């Protein structure tokens, strides 16, 4: 996904992967991807108008609906949207589902969530995508991002994190999903766009192990 539009090969792969996506990420992350995404729910309240962009299979979006948020789920892959639809139906919950490109979406939200999404773009594409999404957050609203983190802690821990990400990125690259890119320093990107980081929570691959994921909550000034 080098540029504005996700390319057709990447899109086909996301569609093909939709049914196995949760199992693969749970295995690779030892369940931490899910924990990291669910942690951001503390920044979402009843009545909040929330956008999940590149929602994927939507586990955390369904939980936001359960909390009483007014949720919109947007994804370019129709198979991902269908999984969110059936997840909602199974739980007798409702959300607005949009099959489309987030660059064509221009509504304002209290909260915009972009989980494991910005790292699908090359550096220029990532900055454009972040800028567009931050533009959708109303003044005083929140931008929530759960994603991989730059390595933290001791040298062996940082080495492990870098190696863990490299394997995931290499597989993703071979699948045609992402260009080869560095691990982004999201706090710096968001602060450069005028956001204030209000919380940064790290997630280790196992208890006491190296940190690999982060849940970031940023606020747009009034």
Ligand X SMILES: C[S@@+](CC[C@H](N)C(=O)[O-])C[C@H]1O[C@@H](n2cnc3c(N)ncnc32)[C@H](O)[C@@H]1O
Give me the residues that bind ligand X (CB under 6 A), please: 1, 6, 14, 37, 53-56, 74-77, 80, 101-103, 115-117, 120
Cβ-based nearer residue to ligand X, 103 or 202: 103
- Closest CB 78 distance from ligand X, rounded Å: 9
- Closest CB 154 distance from ligand X, rounded Å: 28
Q: DSSP characters for 3-62?
A: SSSPPHHHHHHHHHHHHHHHHHHHHHHTTHHHHHHHHGGGG--TT-EEEEET-TT-HHHH
Cβ-based nearer residue to ligand X, 140 or 214: 214
The token pair at 112 is 């915009």
Q: Is 61 within 8 Å of 84 (Cβ atoms)?
A: yes
Cβ-based nearer residue to ligand X, 126 or 211: 126
- Closest CB 16 distance from ligand X, rounded Å: 11
Torsion angle, CA of 152/196/169/63, rounded to 10 degrees? 110
- Closest CB 79 distance from ligand X, rounded Å: 9
Cβ-based nearer residue to ligand X, 190 or 213: 213
What span, in angstroms and rounded, lies between the C-alpha atoms of 33 and 26? 7
């Amino acid at each position: 996904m080098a540029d504005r539009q996700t390319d057709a090969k990447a899109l086909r792969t996301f569609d093909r992967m939709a049914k196995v996506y949760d199992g693969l990420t749970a295995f690779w992350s030892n369940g931490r991807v899910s924990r990291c995404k669910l942690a951001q729910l503390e920044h979402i309240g009843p009545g909040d108008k929330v956008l999940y962009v590149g929602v994927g299979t939507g586990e955390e979006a369904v939980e936001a609906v359960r909390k009483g948020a007014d949720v919109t789920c947007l994804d370019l892959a129709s198979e991902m949207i269908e999984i969110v639809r059936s997840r909602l139906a199974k739980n007798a919950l409702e959300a607005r589902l949009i099959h489309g490109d987030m660059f064509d979406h221009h509504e304002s939200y209290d909260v915009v969530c972009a989980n494991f999404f910005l790292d699908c773009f090359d550096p220029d594409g990532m900055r454009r995508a972040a800028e567009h999404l931050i533009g959708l957050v109303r003044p005083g609203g929140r931008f929530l991002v759960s994603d991989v983190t730059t390595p933290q802690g001791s040298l062996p821990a940082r080495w492990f994190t870098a190696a863990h990400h490299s394997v995931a990125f290499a597989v993703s690259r071979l699948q045609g999903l992402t260009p080869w890119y560095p691990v982004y320093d999201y706090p710096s990107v968001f602060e450069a766009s005028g956001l204030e980081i209000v919380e940064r929570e790290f997630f280790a691959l196992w208890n006491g192990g190296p940190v690999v994921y982060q849940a970031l909550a940023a606020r747009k000034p009034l």
